[in-house]
């Protein structure tokens, strides 16, 4: 392994984590060496090669990990291939803690942690890692949508923190908003469709389909979470809205975001089993949602499930937007963000593209990791051997 390459610890190897490993392995195979993966951790176990000596999990080992996990096997079944060397650890959480503790000792090893979990338990350990001089790249929104103090502590080391994939997957929403804020352009409003699932549902409603029909179609097509209420509740969009608000320095908490859920509390997962919701609950929602669609059409507008970040407030829910606006024209699962600012006025800056999918998200986090690799302090050159009495600038006299 080349000296000086950053060492990557991938935390979480589900859809996004495995797509990330696949993209890194492909680069290795093409001799376009990026970072060196030295550990892979899931909710139970860990595989780890050498830190700080610089061994890495080879591309063949990464493919072996991908194959095992995609077959539903655990990390313990990964076989050693070619020169791949690693240690298997029964307790992934413990191994993660050990690696984080090693950051300070091996500060010059340039460690980067990529959080590809959906867990809220990683924030504390990531905070320690960033304070110990490691780089952090997130696909997981939870560490930066918890308490504001944790958010600031994680992000204040701007050079060692990236989270582009937490909002809009691989689309550069965070980078764009950060550039505007840093350059002093005053953002007056951001409005966006930040859920591919809800975008699909809104397009179906616009085409005259019943809410129950379009939600069932979305579930069958794999666009929703296993329980579609995880999407329909709006909580995931609320986290994205909060991230956009915090980029502007707004001291808001998740509880401050006003969220309109597309189902009432009595149809929530704590009160109604999934089957009942799919078969009966959804049908009861058809009429009230069809009424909202009709009202929007009557005012020559389009009904969208949008996040609005304006005047110090975040709201998430159904809104009627002008049909000719970028949001009004949006169809299908794409994400879209309109940013109105001093410079982008009266026409907003509009970013649109695929806002979900494991490959897009993984390529976003890989781009973050490569940026961190550029930013982390270089590995110091080894101290030169002290000259002996008989040497003069390296020449033996
Ligand atoms: N999928 C997308 O299109 C997309 C788009 C944008 C952002 N994201 C975000 O990316 C993250 C990952 O999404 P995903 O679809 O890959 O999820 P996923 O398939 O559910 O994978 C989650 C992975 O995290 C592991 N994990 C859970 N808790 C852990 C812990 N405490 N320590 C270490 N590993 C842990 C799981 O381990 P096991 O394998 O042992 O279960 C699993 O490997 C989520 O936060 C999601 O919101 C996803």
Looking at domain 7-170+358-375, does it have CATH number 3.40.50.720?
A: yes
Looking at domain 174-354, does it have CATH number 3.30.450.20?
A: no
Tokens of 175: 């980078």
Single out the residue of 49, 45, 51, 50 nearest to residue 13, CA to CA: 45
- Cα 49-51-52 angle, rounded to 5 deg: 145
Asked whether the beta carbons of 350 and 325 are under 8 A apart, the reply is: no
**What does the alpha-carbon distance between residue 289 and residue 281 come to, in Å, rounded to a whole number?**
13
Q: Which of 42, 98, 360 to mutate to test the pocket of ligand 1 (most atoms within 8 A of CB)?
A: 42
Query: Distance from the CA of 11 to the center of ligand 1, in angstroms?
Result: 9
**What does the alpha-carbon distance between residue 26 and residue 63 come to, in Å, rounded to a whole number?**
9
Query: Distance from the CA of 7 to the center of ligand 1, in angstroms?
Result: 21
**225 assigned binding-site residue:** yes
Q: What is the per-residue pLDDT for 379?
A: 67
pLDDT tens digits, the chain, 397 residues: what are they? 555 789 999 999 999 999 999 999 999 999 887 889 999 999 999 999 876 666 889 999 999 999 999 999 999 999 877 666 788 898 989 989 988 888 767 666 789 999 999 999 999 999 999 988 899 999 999 999 999 999 999 998 767 999 999 999 889 999 999 999 999 999 999 999 999 999 999 999 999 999 999 999 999 988 999 999 999 999 999 999 999 999 999 999 999 999 999 999 999 999 999 999 999 999 999 999 999 999 999 999 999 999 999 999 999 999 999 999 999 999 999 999 999 999 999 999 999 999 889 999 999 999 999 999 988 877 666 666 655 555 444 344 3
| Catalytic one of 44, 69, 240, 291 | 240
Considering just the CA atoms, what is the radius of gyration of the chain in Å?
A: 24
Name beta bridge partners: 16: none
Q: Has 219 been annotated as catalytic?
A: no
From the CA of 19, give the closest atom in ligand 1. 16
- How many of the other CB atoms lie within 10 Å of CB of 356? 18
**What does the alpha-carbon distance between residue 244 and residue 100 come to, in Å, rounded to a whole number?**
28
Contacts of 163 (CB under 8 A, 6+ apart): 137, 138, 144, 155, 174, 243, 368
Instruction: Tell me which residue has tokens 């958010």.
Output: 151
What is this structure's pTM? 0.92
Q: What is the per-residue pLDDT for 387?
A: 56
Asked whether the beta carbons of 223 and 203 are under 8 A apart, the reply is: no
Domain ranges of the chain: 7-170+358-375, 174-354
**29 assigned binding-site residue:** no
């Amino acid at each position: 392994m080349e000296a000086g390459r950053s060492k990557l610890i991938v935390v979480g190897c589900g859809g996004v984590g495995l797509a990330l490993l696949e993209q890194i392995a492909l680069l290795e195979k093409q001799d376009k060496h990026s970072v060196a993966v030295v550990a892979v951790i899931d909710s139970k176990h860990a595989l780890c090669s050498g830190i700080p000596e610089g061994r890495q999990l080879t591309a063949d080992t990464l493919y072996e990990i991908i194959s095992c996990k995609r077959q539903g096997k655990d990390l313990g079944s990964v076989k050693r291939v070619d020169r791949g060397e690693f240690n298997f650890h029964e307790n992934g959480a413990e191994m993660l803690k050990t690696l984080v503790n090693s950051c300070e000792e091996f500060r010059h090893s340039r460690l980067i942690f990529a959080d590809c979990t959906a867990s809220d338990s990683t924030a504390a350990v990531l905070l320690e890692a960033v304070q110990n001089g490691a780089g952090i790249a997130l696909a997981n929104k939870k560490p930066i949508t918890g308490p504001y103090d944790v958010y600031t502590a994680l992000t204040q080391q701007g050079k060692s923190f990236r989270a582009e994939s937490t909002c809009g997957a691989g689309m550069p929403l965070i980078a764009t908003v950060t550039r505007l804020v840093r350059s002093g352009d005053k953002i007056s409003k951001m409005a966006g469709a930040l859920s591919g699932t809800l975008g699909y549902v809104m397009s179906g409603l616009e085409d005259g389909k019943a809410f129950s029909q379009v939600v069932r179609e979305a579930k069958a097509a794999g666009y929703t979470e296993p329980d579609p209420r995880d999407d329909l509740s709006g909580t995931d969009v609320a986290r994205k809205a909060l991230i956009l608000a915090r980029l502007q320095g707004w001291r808001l908490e998740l509880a401050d975001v006003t969220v309109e859920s597309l189902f009432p509390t009595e149809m929530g997962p704590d009160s109604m089993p999934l089957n009942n919701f799919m078969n009966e609950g959804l049908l009861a929602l058809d009429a009230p949602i069809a009424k909202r669609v009709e009202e929007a059409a009557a005012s020559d507008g389009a009904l969208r499930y949008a996040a609005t970040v304006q005047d110090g407030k975040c709201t998430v829910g159904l809104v009627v937007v002008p049909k000719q606006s970028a949001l009004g024209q949006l169809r299908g699962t794409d994400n879209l963000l309109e940013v109105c600012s001093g410079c982008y006025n009266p026409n907003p800056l509009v970013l649109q593209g695929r806002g979900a999918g494991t490959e897009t998200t993984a390529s976003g986090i890989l781009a973050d990791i490569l940026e961190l690799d550029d930013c982390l302090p270089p590995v110091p050159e080894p101290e030169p051997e002290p000259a002996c009495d008989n040497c003069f600038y390296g020449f033996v006299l």
